[in-house]
Structure 1
Amino acid sequence: MQSIESMNLSTFITTFSSALEKKVLDIMKPIYTLEEDPLREFNHLLRKPYPAQAHTALAVFKALCSQDSVYIVGEMGTGKTQVSISVVSLFPKPQRVLILCPPHLVGKWEREVRATLPEVRVIQLKELSKLLPLKGKKPEKPKVTEFWILSRERAKLSHSWKPTWVKRMRKHACPSCGVFFKEDRPLSERKKEKCEECKEPLWEAIPPRRFSLATFIRKWLKGYFDILIADEVHEYKGDSIQGQALGELASSIKKRILLTGTLLGGYAYNLFNLLWRTHTSLMKSRKYTHTSVTRFQDEYGFMERVVKEVDTEDYIYGRAKKRNVRVKPLPGVSPLLLPHFLLPNAVFLRLSDVSSALPPYEENVVTLDMEEHQAEEYRELENALRDIVAESLRRGSQKNLASYLQGLLLVPDAIYRRNEIEVEIGGQRKTLSNLPVEGIMPKEAELLDIVKREKQEGRRVLVYCTFTDTRDITPRLKTLLEDRGIKVEVLKSQTVSPERREEWLKKTIERGTHVLICNPEVVKTGLDLYEFPTVIFYETGYSIYTLRQASRRSWRIGQTKPVRVFYLCYKDTMQEKALRLIAGKLETSLVVEGELSDKGLQALSQAEGSMVVELARALVEGLPEKESLTALWSRTRKLEIEADLTGAEKKATVREVSKTLSQIGNRILKVDVIESTKPRKKKTTRICVSEGELEKILKEQGKPLQFALF
């Protein structure tokens, strides 16, 4: 056995997991233990929660009996909306609930509430006029449970604006640099503009002249609402007007239920503002004030201090050198954040906890060789950028690293056109570019092939692209698909507002659309894409959180078809390196996190800034390739399955994951069958069977059986 001194963290936790588990259970006494039949508490609901959702709702309710705020940290698709409504139904008396949510989820919340509770009153709070009659009156207790739904955009009150300029020699000029406008005209009052010369804004803010809804509730309706439900609460973590609106509402409402899929964003300070707004007493008990962000980051995160001595100047008196000190936060958090803040105040819900209600899920990584001329153009750019990136890393500079790497991720997919990458060499800016290559490239051909196969099975396809703005490649894909008789729609953030996307999607499906192309950021929250059971990541980027969120957009409660996810990348390119880094980080985090959440602690080591540096190092130094990308991804998914089975009492069923098929003569399959025999016990059996024998084994089971192929 390996000595403890030489073990890394992952190996240590894996080796001593049983002893660590026993120690934790001895020290930490839960306020809620799993009951045999939690559903009996929800017989009065029109739509009953699943057992895992019922356990979560009961745990949150019990926590709210002794504290004011509880976070529900659940993966996308676990039914956090259903859980929060179920919590409200447990209170013995009717409650008045205020829901704060993104604007595109207002209609969805109303439908969910009406579909779950038998007697309920739902009000969409859109205008201040609905609250004005309540000012100065003693709040009456509601006769039935009331849900007031407030869009976060309406909760805050931002400033308005007006165009600004100066007049010189009877001409309109920029107030910052004084350069005359090319067209001597007043500026538009409908569009914000910038000076073409100095890039400064040609508009100024006008302070608000009335109360925002959140401020009105804090000043005049404190205590009117009994419960606050804040959806997607991680989006209020910044020092923004929306975050301030959450703080005002939280200070006015006694009980708070806070819903999120990712509580942490990679840095400790991401959690500070949320905790200060929702757990003010806890923060004050630890001697924090509203300005203690740096101290919080220093105590629960990592800080980098860079000291540079200035050689050009010396102090007149004394022998000390002049120094410049730069301090910046680094990704990662201290383990103390868990016992001090997260575990006492959060309930974690995994998608695996409700997996009995989900169809099979399959992931496939497809690596493709580039076409000859395509490879030549890419290699030329890669070699040129490798030296530039290596020099930046030697100097400790991250300037322009992201744009260089984005260029290398883009070029193989946009080789049909000239792509320019601005670089800085010796203080001078130069432009690198590729020559266009004609024809259908291998990844495009693979996309067309997958879409054709899925269409024959009657399955719609969702295609994710990360380059959809200034370097947009979606018109190319749309043309290729439409030339083959496939109906395609492209969803973009600037063309369809968040409030209209659900309605737009419904009409799109009614028109017979077979393929939907969009950026994963557009559908990361809110939309249920049940109608698109096949998901193709044509481009993945390097944001792990976005990738995981988008990959589960179709695999959620209510989906009836098996979900297939494909990741396409070119071999020996930055695209493959990015997927390798993502797989490696997921593998480590799954071992460390245990049963907490796919995104609860996972974000601790996955900040996008660190991914940029790691990708840059991968470009310069390369990555060790002890196994293929498909095998690496497959092993990562296997770890996730085993973690899912360890923490729940389930039958011997495992959802299908990424697969590697070994062909020996008559197609021999290597299959790992993982069985959950007892709570927290599992049995793994490896067999090698032919395809025909596997079908025979499945028929002999007499019931549906899901399995994992590796």
Structure 2
Amino acid sequence: QPKCLGTQDNLKLKPYQLVGLNWLRTLHTSEVNGILADEMGLGKTIQTIAFLAHIYEKKVSGPHIIVCPASVVSNWNREFSQWLPSLRVVVYHGSQKERAQIRSEMHDTSSWFACTRVKVLLTLSRDVVVTTYTCFEREAGKQDRAFLRSFNFKVMILDEAHSIKNAGSSRYRHLLHLTCERRILLTGTPINNNLPELLVLLQFLMPELFDPDDEVESESGNLARVKMRQKGCSCSHLLLSHQKVNVERVKKMIKPFVLRRCKCDVLGELVPKDQQVIQKEISDYSDFVLHQMCQDHKRLNKLSLKVQSIFPAIRPSHLFVQPEDISSSAKLRKLEEILPRLQSEGHRVLLFSQWTTMLDIIEDFLIDKDYLYTRLDGSTAVKERQELLDRFNSDTSIFCFLLSTRAGGMGINLTAADTVILHDVDFNPQIDRQAEDRCHRIGQTKPVTVIKLVVQETVD
């Protein structure tokens, strides 16, 4: 373990985290990029900070850049202050005015020396820039991208790197144009849908080795090719199809560049996780309403589009869903049954839904039942997100945390809860796994229960 790591609180890496650190060291020494793909909750953030501490001790000059979802910016900043306070972290995020101010401070050498919050990036080797994917996916981020491209970063780290699984996206292309010497990708789900997604990540890491111009897989599932270039030998081709994949050949090809450990392999003391699928029959009234909605959809679709053009806040579902339809929901009735029991037994709940409109309904339900709760979704300001997480983790009187699956399902730590309720399951099971592991991770001391609510004969 690097001497400068965890000195304030005498923090120590776990044995498997030291293995991860040594793997990253080996990659760096060999001048190779890689993917740290440990299962969610094993501390990829800490292992990465340990690696930066190692190269800092080896006098490798910065700056480095970390790109992550907005929901985990505060967590990165906090982990640096706890584990490696000797590195000065610049959080490049905020409103357009705030980002302009940071750019001004970073370009104005005199203000760099006077500023303690953002300390001389251009003259200090031990600095890290933490920013979000937003800068690399919108037209409004043009200035941000031009500014970040002006730096020669030593190490670029992408957290939740499965976010760049689409090689045709603007996010992928813009990140590819950042100047850096080494690239490290962090993801607990390197494959969300199919194997070619992993190969896209490898192409991003090493375009000189994995040819980015070759097709990976067509939407129709036809055979595709990925060209692997090797020095001193002829090109080899990996054939992929939905029907047959040479798994052993794929493993052999990616083994030097990907490290993945599962919790069951490295954490023998980790608390168990119990999964329950609660299936409910749709009520006669809900079945009638659902049938009517399907019948009326085509007729009302044109009307709803016209109404939306006049009143954009109105969504199509609001045109034909009535309060009595909601109150008949089999899932809400099940929540009404299980939440009192969970509260009386001292459990605390993370309640996920894919839809913010559904979270609105559940929120009204919790208010009506006098449950203390907090809520985080995509509309929650980034500055407020860490405060919400801290409040829930420290205040045991808060019984329930409402989260949208996408915004609250990645990269955050909520080990104060021991029960996860998935109100609606995602079409991609990996997304649900990400959500479940918000509380089933290092630091959890209680057995974790995951409850999936499913209504029979519906899209569930």
Q: What TM bracket, shorter-length normalisation?
A: 0.7 to 0.9
Decide whether aligned partners of structure 1 residues 128 and 304 sit closer, same or farther in structure 2, where only a CA change above 3 A counts. Answer: same
Partner Cα distance (1:564, 1:550) in 2: 12
Selected match of 2:279 from 367, 392, 398: 367
Find the counterpart in structure 1 of residue 259 from structure 2: 347
1:557 and 2:442 are equivalent in the alignment:
yes
For 1:48, the aligned partner's letter is K
Q: Aligned AA for 1:562?
A: P
Task: Measure how far apart 1:107 and its partner are.
Answer: 2.5
CA distance in 1, matches of 2:371, 2:30: 57
- Equivalent residue, structure 2, for 1:212: 146
CA–CA distance in structure 2, aligned partners of residues 418 and 89 of structure 1: 53
1:234 aligned partner: 162
Say whether 1:82 aligns with 2:10: no
SS at 1:366 equivalent: strand
> Could you list the per-position Cα deviations for residues 134-162 of structure 1 after superposition, in whole angstroms to 9, with x for gaps in the alignment?
8xxxxx999997231231357548535xx
Letter aligned with residue 303 of structure 1: N
Structure 1 CA distance for aligned equivalents of residues 326 and 159 of structure 2? 47
Q: Determine whether 1:51 maps to 2:6.
A: no
Residue 335 of structure 1 pairs with residue 246 of structure 2: yes
Is the Cα contact below 8 Å between 1:418 and 1:435 reproduced in 2? Answer: no
**Partners of 1:231 and 1:258 within 8 A in 2:** yes
Q: What does 1:37-76 align with in structure 2 at a 5 Å threshold?
A: 41=1, 45-46=5-6, 47-76=11-40
Partner of 1:428: none
The residue that corresponds to 2:172 in the other structure is 243
Judge conservation of contact 1:360–1:562 (CA < 8 Å) in 2: yes
Is contact 1:247-1:278 (8 Å) kept?
A: no
What SS class does the counterpart of residue 257 from structure 1 fall into?
strand
Cα distance in 2 for residues equivalent to 1:144 and 1:216: 16
Aligned partners of 2:222, 2:246: CA distance in 1, in Å? 15
| Aligned counterpart, 2:127 | 147
1:277 is aligned, of 204, 227, 232, to 204
Given the alignment, which residue of 297, 320, 338 partners 2:217? 297
Question: 1:506/1:77 Cα in 2 relative to 1: closer, same or farther (>3 Å)?
Answer: same
How far apart, in 2, do the equivalents of 1:233 and 1:153 lie?
Answer: 10
Instruction: Find the aligned partners of 1:154 and 1:544 in 2 and give their Cα distance.
Output: 25
Q: CA deviation at 1:58?
A: 1.3
1:128 aligns with 2:107: no
Give the aligned residue type for 1:445: R
Which AA in structure 2 matches 1:247? L
**Amino acid paired to 1:451:** L
Name the amino acid aligned to 2:205: T
2:369 counterpart residue number: 484
SS of structure 1 residue aligned to 2:217: helix
**How far 1:362 sits from its partner (Å)?**
1.9
**Contact 2:36–2:258 (CA<8 Å) still a contact in 1?**
yes
**Which structure is richer in relative contact order (CA contacts within 8 A, separation 6 or more)?**
2
Answering whether residue 385 of structure 2 is matched by residue 501 of structure 1, we say: yes
TM-score by length of 2: 0.73
Secondary structure of 1:486's aligned partner: coil
CA distance in 2, matches of 1:481, 1:365: 22
Structure 2: segments with no counterpart, 5+ residues: 93-98, 110-119, 225-239, 302-316
Distance in structure 2 (CA, Å) of the matches to 1:143 and 1:211: 21
User: In structure 1, the residue corresponding to 2:402 is in which secondary structure?
Assistant: strand
Match of 2:340 in 1: 452
> Structure 1 residues 499 and 352 mapped into 2: Cα distance closer, same or farther (>3 Å)?
farther
SS of residue in 2 equivalent to 1:107: helix
- Matched residues in 1 for 2:52 and 2:143: separation? 36
Contact 1:94–1:144, Cα closer than 8 Å, also in 2? no
Distance 2:147 2:285 in 1: 59
Instruction: Give, in angstroms, the shift of residue 363 of structure 1.
Output: 1.8
Taking the aligned partners of 2:144 and 2:342, their CA distance within structure 1 comes to 54
**Cα separation, 2, equivalents of 1:373 and 1:68:** 61
Distance 1:118 1:514, change over 3 A: closer
What's the CA shift string for 1:433-466, capped at 9, x where partnerless?
A: 9996586555323212321122123332122223
Structure 1 residues 488, 435: closer, same or farther in 2, change over 3 A? closer
1:268/1:301 contact within 8 Å kept: no
Letter matched to residue 246 of structure 1: L
Conserved? CA contact 1:492–1:522, under 8 Å: yes
C-alpha displacement of 1:347: 0.6
Task: Count matched residues.
Answer: 399
Measure, in 2, the Cα distance between the counterparts of 1:479 and 1:149: 40
Contact 1:264–1:270 (CA under 8 A) maintained in structure 2? yes
2:398 partner amino acid: T
- 1:115 maps onto 2:74 in alignment: no
User: Which runs of 5 or more residues in structure 1 are unaligned?
Assistant: 1-40, 135-139, 161-206, 306-328, 389-399, 401-416, 421-432, 579-710
**Paired residue type of 1:518:** L
d(CA) in 1 for partners of 2:171 and 2:292? 46
Query: Is contact 1:361–1:562 with CA below 8 Å preserved after alignment?
Result: yes
Alignment partners' CA distance in 1, 2:124 and 2:443: 29
User: Could you say which residue in structure 2 is the equivalent of 1:258?
Assistant: 185
- Tell me which amino acid in the other structure corresponds to 2:5: L
Q: Distance in 1 between matches of 2:175 and 2:5?
A: 29
Show CA shifts across 1:376-429 (max 9, x none).
6557889x89xx9xxxxxxxxxxx9xxxxxxxxxxxxxxxx9986xxxxxxxxx
| Whole-angstrom distance in 1 between the partners of 2:278 and 2:411 | 29
Larger relative helix fraction: 2
**Which residue identity is paired with 1:227?**
V
| Distance apart, 1:557 and its partner CA | 1.0
Change over 3 Å in CA distance of 1:66–1:490 after alignment to 2: closer
Larger radius of gyration: 1
Indicate yes or no: 2:422 matched with 1:542.
Answer: no
Against the structure 1 CA distance between its residues 454 and 293, is the aligned structure 2 distance closer, same or farther, given a 3 Å change threshold? same
Q: Given that residues 351 and 423 in structure 2 are in contact (C-alpha distance below 8 angstroms), is that contact kept between their aligned partners in structure 1? A: yes
Distance 1:536 1:444 in 2: 12
How large is the Cα RMSD of the aligned pairs? Answer: 4.1
- Any idea what the Cα deviations from partners look like across 1:313-366, whole Å, max 9, x if unmatched? xxxxxxxxxxxxxxxx98688436724642221111212234345333222222
Which segment drifts farther, 556-565 or 497-506?
Answer: 497-506
Change over 3 Å in CA distance of 1:63–1:491 after alignment to 2: closer
1:100 corresponds to which of 54, 66, 72: 66
Flag the 1:261–1:146 CA change in 2: closer, same or farther, 3 A.
same
Residue 101 of structure 1 aligns with an amino acid whose one-letter code is V
1:304-319 map, 5 Å = none
**1:345–1:367 distance in 2 versus 1, CA, 3 Å:** same
| 1:267–1:332 contact (8 Å) kept in structure 2 | no
| Cα-to-partner distance string for 1:605-650 (whole Å, 9 max, x where unaligned) | xxxxxxxxxxxxxxxxxxxxxxxxxxxxxxxxxxxxxxxxxxxxxx
In structure 1, C-alpha distance between the alignment counterparts of 2:287 and 2:42, rounded to whole Å: 43
Residues 507-518 of structure 1: pairs in structure 2 closer than 5 A: 507=391, 512-518=397-403
**Code of the aligned partner of 1:302:** G
Whole-angstrom distance in 1 between the partners of 2:325 and 2:204: 54
TM-aligned CA deviation for residue 372 of structure 1 = 4.3
Partner secondary structure for residue 90 of structure 1:
helix
Contact 1:364 1:567 in 2 (8 A): yes
Deviations 1:654-690 (A, max 9, x none): xxxxxxxxxxxxxxxxxxxxxxxxxxxxxxxxxxxxx
Q: What is the aligned-residue identity percentage? A: 21
Q: Check the 8 A contact 1:106/1:151 in 2, yes or no.
A: yes
Answer yes or no: is the 8 Å Cα contact 2:67–2:131 preserved in 1.
yes
Any conservation in 1 of the 2:221–2:242 contact (CA below 8 Å)? yes
